Amino acid sequence: MKVTKRQLRRIIKEEKARLLNEQPRRPMPKGVAIERDALIVADKLEGAFFDALEELGADAQTAADIEYFLKSTAILDTSFANALEDYKKKLDMMGGMPKPRNV
């Protein structure tokens, strides 16, 4: 049976989530919890970039050009700031209550 890159990524992501959920839930120091959450966000961003490049049908050179452009402009910083601002607005609309944690 042949496994595509996308299927392999999904399998790895599911296994990682399963392993993280199996870890005992003990209180973490604030810095450790923030670092773990930041790594989860970074992993999801990586997946989103991969999926976007795949949907664009980008070849290796186009992907490299896109990477260079994003790194050499303030677009990523602006995107992060916009996402954070949108999330804060959504929290305000929900009375400050986030969705239940699922990772």
**What are the structural domain ranges in the chain?**
5-93
**Model pTM score:** 0.60
pLDDT tens digits along 35-53: 888 888 889 999 999 999 9
The C-alpha torsion from 96 through 33 and 84 to 76, rounded to 10°, is: -170
Q: Label residue 5 by pLDDT band (50, 70, 90).
A: confident
State how far the Cα of 39 lies from the Cα of 36, in Å rounded to an integer. Answer: 5
